[in-house]
């Protein structure tokens, strides 16, 4: 399985240093912290500023370091019946995907709140292993989206990996997002919007010599951007999907997988939520409210020639 390719990228939620977080937000000109005193020479005033800052940001969606995972099964074409949502550990694996090929597409990128405020330039990167007959090749794919706070990116079904070889053990899927505020870095993001990146990463059943350098360049760009002063990594998650029957394992099947950035996995009970096909949204059964968190939804389907 895949060891974390994002281990050297520190998401803002992973930091235990409030001064670093506060300095980062000031660099990004976050509207919520402009009045907080950071680095003042007066110790008493400085301590008060840090305490105010901690109280301000502790419940921000971008400060959550955990992700809650969910799964929505495929439904019959034309059906408008609400779809139930389950944790991926509660579903049956689709063994027809074993030693087969799949497509992975991005269906939703929702930004409830990211550092910096306003419209966010979000660099999202996916990483998996393409499992070939005699070897494995690490592959990654990045794309950038401009998303207004409280809204979702204007995409559905965006191709990420086409023809990914699964193998017998399933897949390990990783994702990271970087909020890019540095104006000079936006030219790099523009390159990711060019035509070579618009159709996802097409994979073969044999080793592709160009994949390794492409992956290294992609991950190098992500690491560089995540470390720049006005930029910050916000979300990181790792999801292993396999064919085993262990109680806490997550299964691989066709359908949609949801990754919601939360303070604790218990804050969301999927029994209280449904997916409504007629509006294309996940809503609460009681009041039709939508998820007020940052989340990513990707889709897995069987590859067809």
CA 70 distance to own-chain centroid:
13
**Backbone φ, ψ for residue 171 (5° rounding):** -135, 155
DSSP string, the chain: -PPPTTTT--BGGG---HHHHHHHHHHTT-TTSTTS--S-SSHHHHHHHHHHHHHHHTT-GGG--EEEEEEE----TT--SPEE-B-GGGSPP-GGGTTSEEEEEEEEEEES--TT-SEEEEEEEEEEEEE-SS-EEEEEEEEEEEEETTEE-S-SSEEEEEEEE--SS-EEEEEEEEEE--GGGHHHHHHTTSGGGTT-EE--SS--TTHHHHHHHHHHHHHHHHHSTT-EEEEEEEEEEES---TTPEEP-SEEEEEEEES-GGG--GGGEEEETTTTEEEETTT-PBP-S-EEEEEEEE---
CA 240 distance to own-chain centroid:
14
Q: How many residues does the chain have?
A: 305
- At residue 184, the pLDDT reads 67
- At residue 66, the pLDDT reads 95
- At residue 57, the pLDDT reads 72
Q: In a 10 Å sphere around its CB, with 0-12 CB exposed, 13-18 middle and 19+ buried, how is residue 135 labelled?
A: exposed
Mean pLDDT in each 10-residue stretch from start to end of the chain (305 residues)? 73 86 83 57 48 70 95 83 95 95 96 91 89 72 91 93 89 92 70 57 55 64 78 94 91 98 96 94 96 97 90
Q: Which residues lie closer than 8 Å to 284 by C-beta, 6 or more apart?
A: 272, 273, 290
Whole-structure pTM value:
0.86
Contact 101, 131 (CB under 8 A): no
């Amino acid at each position: 399985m895949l060891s974390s390719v994002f281990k050297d990228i520190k998401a803002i939620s992973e930091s235990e240093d409030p001064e670093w977080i506060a300095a980062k937000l000031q660099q990004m000109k976050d509207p919520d912290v402009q009045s907080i005193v950071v680095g003042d020479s007066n110790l008493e005033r400085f301590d008060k500023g840090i305490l105010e800052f901690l109280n301000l940001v502790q419940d921000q969606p971008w400060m959550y370091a955990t992700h809650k995972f969910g799964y929505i099964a495929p439904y019959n074409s034309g059906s408008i019946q609400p779809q139930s949502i389950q944790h991926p550990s509660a579903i049956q694996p689709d063994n027809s995907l074993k030693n087969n090929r799949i497509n992975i597409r991005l269906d939703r990128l929702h930004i409830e709140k990211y550092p910096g405020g306003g419209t966010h330039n979000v660099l999202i990167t996916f990483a998996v292993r393409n499992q070939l007959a005699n070897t494995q090749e690490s592959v990654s794919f990045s794309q950038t989206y401009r998303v207004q706070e409280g809204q979702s990116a204007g995409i559905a079904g965006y191709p990420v990996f086409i023809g990914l070889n699964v193998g017998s053990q399933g897949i390990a899927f990783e994702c990271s997002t970087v909020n890019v505020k540095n104006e000079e870095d936006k030219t790099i993001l523009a390159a990711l919007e060019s035509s070579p990146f618009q159709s996802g990463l097409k994979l073969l059943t044999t080793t592709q010599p160009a994949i390794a350098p492409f992956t290294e360049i992609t991950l190098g760009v992500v690491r560089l951007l995540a470390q720049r002063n006005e930029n910050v990594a916000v979300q990181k998650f790792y999801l292993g999907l396999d064919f085993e029957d262990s109680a806490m394992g997550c299964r691989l099947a066709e359908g949609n997988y949801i990754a919601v950035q939360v303070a604790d996995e218990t804050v969301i009970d999927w029994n209280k939520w449904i997916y409504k096909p007629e509006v294309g949204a996940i809503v609460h059964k009681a009041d039709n409210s939508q998820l007020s968190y940052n989340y990513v939804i990707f889709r897995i389907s069987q590859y067809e020639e």
